[in-house]
Chains A and B, each alone.
Chain A
């Protein structure tokens, strides 16, 4: 942070007031939630006041006003206070849905359900942005960020598991198929992370090959770039024919579960897509270690093995991890599409929901996919930051 300690308390923040006012406007203008008589029929929306009553609406408005004002007045430990306030608000947001369901759900109608409205999503999104801004201003430690994430995530899980939110459409969809959800989670993770792991190993070998024999650079980079340009659906489709031919020719492959559709073509396609960012980052990271350093290392008596493992790899690692991060996020997203060729995962819920025009089922697939991607992003960013060669180089 360039702002020095005494100044940090006196300079009014400009980001949080904008977000706060925007949140206030959206939460009053948009529907906080809707009540549906059953799964398919469109529901009736409820604004903030109608959804929560005067007490609830007043509380939400009060919190948003408080953050806005607090961010502008020069109080000591202002950002610490803001962090507490915003963190607590985020953690207790499901309580709003709880109250909403209790107030509006008709008694004795088992198919009626409540669902989340645009106002609630806006509030969640804007509060998260405020949290990120506050963390940035505090230049908060990584463990604090992680603890906050665990606290908010844990609180949401507790609320969603609780009785008050049983009527929430998302929870309904989940409760209708808890086993399938768990299976989808594992399939999704196994496919995405498996593809990342395999392509990381492959990319490392390819990058080393390119460094040892420069003649391979152009054709290899060309090939992996070409793989990246094919539309993902086309790759999934293209793999069906050769894989089914292969598996009918070789029966033992069938026993392994390798067929034209299913996990095998999905994994292959995901690996193909992961190769470009992995190979490029690994190659660039290793070749960009200054030759003068390698020269000094050799001159001091290091052999090539030592130069690579003690000098080049440690200096290249943050950039390589960056490649892994990009690839992981991309693979988690693409795995959702792979459901089209029967690979399973959260994509299954999305396409099923689209087919049944059940938006809540789509959300049940989409939200965990987004959450996984964000989680992977956060964890790998932290890993890369902790591997930075020195504290002095920002």
Chain B
């Protein structure tokens, strides 16, 4: 658990962060979102003491971070930045092994861990372990960046616009990957972005920041339904809200279940229980259907979802 209590940072007369109170529960993904210069990155970098703060206190699992050795503190916090920050003179494997090496793990344990992480992030160890960062694509390099952050199994993950420099398709892939990995590892994550869609997709709770203050801190659904101010309303997009809410809701919520799962042949583009209602509607509109069959992970048809139901209760 990370607690920020009335934390401020000023240099000279400018105030970068102004009396921030924020509690990040263990295992949740807290996304700090806001326009550039709003203090979100500064807030993140104060948590691992890369930046000092002028007032207030920050507690990690109840302990004041200023009482800890900064290097020890950071070794227990994975850190991912935009543009990866991979060492260009080290191979992929050595980059991932960085923190375990600093912690003096035995060689075999490090090697096993590097293999495990590369597999987790969908990078073939035999093909990529001995490459240098410049030989990777942007998406691959950022996967290595995430693997490096997870290497020593830290309790906390700090991510500073990690997917900001990637193209739209790669970014989307990595976001899905992150959701998948987060389900497995359940790290307490602080994620900084200026992209509200990314925030809605990844967050357990979103903290909207403006001019060094937190304007609203709530779940994605509540932020969409009850924006605290005009600023938040503009950020999430006034007109677009209905569809955004739909994309938060899984098909499972609105489908009519069959009494028993049926064996049937799923088509090329199957709709699954965990897909969003928004996707279901899109499929129906595009293929001009009144209803679509829904499948579970075992390729069994478990129910149907209808256009009517979505229109009535989708939001």
Contacts and interface: CB of A to CB of B under 8 A. Distances in A.
A299 B88 contact: no
Interface string A311-335: 1001100000000000000000000
A293 B87 contact: yes
Nearest to A317: B89
Contact of A295 (B50, B87, B134): B50
Given A295-B50, A393-B134, A301 B81 contact: no
Contact of A298 (B50, B98, B149): B50
B81 A292 contact: yes
Given A292-B83, A299-B79, A315 B74 contact: no
B71 interface: yes
Interface residues of A, number: 21
B151 to A, nearest CB: 9
A229 interface: no
A299 B81 contact: yes
Nearest to B79: A299
B294 interface: no
Contact of B74 (A292, A298, A392, A393): A298
A73 interface: no
Nearest to A299: B79
B144 to A, nearest CB: 12
Contacts of A390: 88-89, 132, 134
A307 B48 CA distance: 17
Contact of B85 (A296, A303, A314): A296
B223 interface: no
A391 interface: yes
Contact of B102 (A302, A391, A392): A302
Contacts of B84: 296
A296 B134 contact: no
B98 A299 contact: no
A295 B81 contact: yes
B83 A389 contact: no
Contact of A300 (B45, B83, B99, B135): B99
Contacts of B72: 301
Contacts, number: 63
Contact of A301 (B71, B85, B87, B89): B71
Nearest to A310: B87
Contacts of A301: 71-75, 77, 99, 102
Contacts of B71: 301-303
A306 interface: yes
Interface in B95-132: 98-99, 102, 132
Contacts of B50: 295, 298-299
A394 to B, nearest CB: 10
B84 to A, nearest CB: 8
Contacts of B48: 299
Given A299-B79, A299-B81, A389 B88 contact: yes
Contacts of A391: 132
Interface in A347-362: none
Nearest to A314: B89
Interface centre among A299, A310, A391, A393 (most CB of B within 10 A): A299
B272 interface: no
B134 A300 contact: no
Given A306-B102, A390-B88, A300 B74 contact: yes
B148 interface: yes
Interface string A366-392: 000000000000000000000001111
B148 to A, nearest CB: 7
B161 to A, nearest CB: 12
Contacts of B45: 299
Interface in A284-298: 292-293, 295-298
A299 B89 CA distance: 18
Interface in B45-95: 45, 48, 50, 71-75, 77, 79, 81, 83-89
Given A302-B71, A390-B134, A296 B79 contact: yes
Contact of B132 (A292, A296, A303, A392): A392
Interface centre among A292, A299, A301 (most CB of B within 10 A): A301
A299 B50 CA distance: 7
Contact of B87 (A299, A303, A311): A311
Given A311-B87, A315-B88, A299 B74 contact: yes
Interface in B21-49: 45, 48
Contacts of A296: 79, 81, 84-86
Contacts of A302: 71, 102
Given A300-B79, A302-B71, A392-B134, A295 B85 contact: yes
B185 to A, nearest CB: 18
A303 B81 CA distance: 18
A314 to B, nearest CB: 5
Contact of A292 (B85, B89, B134, B158): B85
A310 B134 CA distance: 18
Contacts of B77: 301
Interface string B131-148: 010110000000000001
Contact of B89 (A300, A303, A306, A315): A315
A306 B71 CA distance: 11
A362 to B, nearest CB: 47
A132 to B, nearest CB: 29
Given A295-B81, A300-B99, A302-B71, A393 B88 contact: yes
A309 B149 CA distance: 21
A389 B87 CA distance: 10
12 contacts: A292-B83, A293-B85, A293-B87, A296-B84, A299-B74, A300-B99, A301-B74, A303-B71, A306-B102, A314-B89, A389-B89, A390-B88
Given A296-B86, A299-B81, 10 more contacts: A295-B50, A295-B85, A297-B85, A299-B74, A300-B75, A301-B77, A311-B87, A314-B89, A390-B89, A393-B88
Interface of A: 292-293, 295-303, 306, 310-311, 314-315, 389-393
Interface of B: 45, 48, 50, 71-75, 77, 79, 81, 83-89, 98-99, 102, 132, 134-135, 148-149, 158
Task: List 8 A-B pairs, minimum CB-CB distance, nearest first.
Answer: A296-B85, A389-B89, A301-B75, A299-B79, A301-B74, A390-B132, A392-B134, A303-B71
